[in-house]
Each structure stands twice: as structure tokens, then as C-alpha cells.
Copies of this chain bind each other. A is one copy, B any other.
Amino acid sequence: MRHFRLVLEYDGAGFEGWQIQPGETRTVQGALVQAAEKLAGGGEVVVRGSGRTDSGVHAAGQVASVALETDLDAEALLRALNGNLPRDVVIHELEACDEAFDPRRQAKTKSYAYAVWNGALRSPLRAARYVHVPAPLDLPAMREAAFILKGEHDFASFQAAGSDVENTVRTLHRIAISGDSGGEVFFEFEGSGFLRHMVRNLVGTLLEVGQGRREPGSMTGLLEARDRGLAGPTAPAHGLTLAWVEYPENDPGETPGK
């Protein structure tokens, strides 16, 4: 078996998330396994990702590893795999790596982007990738709330209901909110790791702050409460993109989708 590290871009609209599932379910991991199996001559194929993305979530720079039997060099393997992959997923980079490379455990930080269309009326040209929030957003209030959420905290209030992760402490190195009320608004999150639905729950909560339904200062109590029932709703998947994943030693290189 030979081992390779990949950087991937995909449009999440046509996938039921990253993780392979039994049956006909279309997933990104499943598409990679199928593409690699065609080259592995019946041999085993193992594909691992830096983490799961949910159904409908996009990626500009997801990192994965693939292990397979092949005589191809990295350049030819990149071409062959891309030729076998469907149109809505592509491998931008591929290089040989150590067998020990674990894309999930070794990830140092992950970055996500979330896109909101804040016009009063729907925008057909943005419908696939932006979530429409028609009410005017108070961006300074949202930034005040984001400032409180930044740093190392127990994010239990922001993890998906029903999760049973033991350690819910994570570090958010960066939350940036750019744009103007009445136009495109972009959120950027960079952190040491993210709980399930954490970015979408943070966005859903910050959007409530932006609409005056929560005080920015209430974030402190919300973190302390460790109660998912107190945070805002989970913002829709189609606004979210996994932008890139960073590793301590081997930098995954340029993010092609940015």
C-alpha cells in the first residue's frame, strides 16, 4: 500500500456529507473510494478525511489521505483520480506521505467561511451559496459578541444536540465578520477544532444578535451555561465552506478555492 495526502474542493449540494455510508447514498468519501478502487486493481483502498462535513456543506480545501496499491507517480495518480471523480469534486493537490499521516488527529487548525445575503429581497444568483437574512443586521453588535466567543472556551452550548463528546473545550483563534448591512456578509472562523454543528450554531446565534434578539454581552452566560437549548438555531448548511486545514509540519500548501 502507498499513502498520499490530498487537498480537495467540492460543492456540497449534491453530497450527503463527507462520511461514506452503506447503500446508494452519495458522499464525498464514497466518491473518493470509488475513484481509487478503479485504479487499485481489486486491492484495498482506505480514505480518511480531516473531519466530516455535513450534508450540503462545501469545501475549498478539505485534506484527506488515501492508501492504495498503485504504480502511478503522484502527478499521474492526481490526473487518474480526477478523471474518475464526478464533476462536483476535484483533487487540487496530491503528494506521497508517510503511512502515519492522520489527517484528523494531526490537523492543527481548521478554517471555515460562512456566507450570508443580507438584502431585503432574495438573490437568485446567490441562492446556492449564501443564506438569505432579509432583516438588517447590526454588524458592530455581532462583532462585539464574536469578540467574547473568541479564545479558549467550553463550547458545549454550541454543539449539536445529542452529541456525546467528552471534552467540549475548543479554541477559536479568529472570528471575523466582514461586509455591510444590506449586502453580502461573510463570517470566517479559525480554530483548533470544532464540535459537530459548532460553526452553524455560532452563526445562528450571531445572526440573532445582529437582529437585536440577543445582547452581545449574553455570550458570556451562554458559554457558561453549557446548554445547547439556550443558543440560537443551526444556520443552514449551504452557506458553510470548509476553507482550509493547517498541519504543524507539512503545510498543505495553497488553498485553491480561496
Taking beta carbons and an 8 Å cutoff, which residues of A are in contact with B? 9-11, 58, 60, 82, 87-92, 119, 121-125, 127-129, 241, 256-257
Tell whether, in the assembled complex, residue B87 and residue A123 are in contact, meaning their CB atoms are under 8 Å apart: no
Give complex CA distance A91, B82 in Å.
Answer: 40
Residues of B within 8 A of A123 (CB): 9, 90, 256-257
User: How many copies of this chain does the complex contain?
Assistant: 2
Other contacts beyond A9-B125, A11-B127, A58-B125: 5, CB < 8 A: A82-B122, A90-B124, A91-B121, A92-B119, A121-B256
Task: Tell me the minimal C-beta distance from A200 to chain B in angstroms.
Answer: 18
Q: Top 9 closest A-B pairs, CB basis?
A: A11-B124, A88-B124, A90-B122, A90-B121, A10-B124, A11-B125, A9-B124, A90-B124, A125-B257
B11–A121 touching, CB < 8 Å:
no
Chain B, Cβ-Cβ closest to A256: B119
- How long is the Cα–Cα vector from A123 to B8 in the complex, in angstroms? 10
